[in-house]
Amino acid sequence: MDAPTIKLWVESLGLGFTELVASGKVPNQPLMKPFEDSDWPTMRPVEGVELLFNDRTKSLKQILITLIPTVGQPVYAGGLPAPFSLMINQQSVRSALGEPIDSRGRARLPGGLGIRGGWDAYKLSNEWHPNAKVIIGYLESYAVNNISFSVIN
């Protein structure tokens, strides 16, 4: 995958699975629920990227990109569109995007999964999507762990 594909998916948030497949924006592969009671059928078009869909409407609701593994999950090795390609830690994120609209600090995860550095949330510009946000997740060191693009409810 490459940066233009990631941007295309972000622009496609809210569109239906059938429409995305018909237009060639996503591969024609089955949606799988990550666990039995999940409300988010998921597609993994490439290592480290998950596309999550609404169970009822089958519309694309979230794009989750893992950059650094925390519990052995695969990582995305492709390109990211600017300005996200330059974000390596919380300082570089805030330098590129400014002050977040919401933020959470460090937290200890249950079950012995360690400490994470929290996250910052930003509303995407209309150039990207008129009703979407991005959440940048951090490791304890404040390195960027994952990037999540989603429709604002």
Burial class (CB in 10 A: 0-12, 13-18, 19+), 63: buried
Which pTM value belongs to this model?
0.90
Judged by DSSP in three states, 85 sits in helix
DSSP string for residues in 42-80 = EEEEETTEEEEE-TTT-BEEEEEEESS-SSS-----S--
The domain total for the chain is 1
Residue carrying the six token digits 């989750």:
64
pLDDT in tens, the chain (153 residues): 789 999 999 999 999 999 999 999 999 988 887 777 777 788 999 999 999 998 889 999 999 999 988 777 889 999 999 898 878 899 999 999 999 999 987 777 666 566 678 899 999 999 999 999 999 999 888 999 999 999 997
Instruction: Domain of residue 96: give its range.
Output: 3-151
For the CA atoms of 83, 17, 102, 76, the dihedral, rounded to the nearest 10 degrees, stands at -50
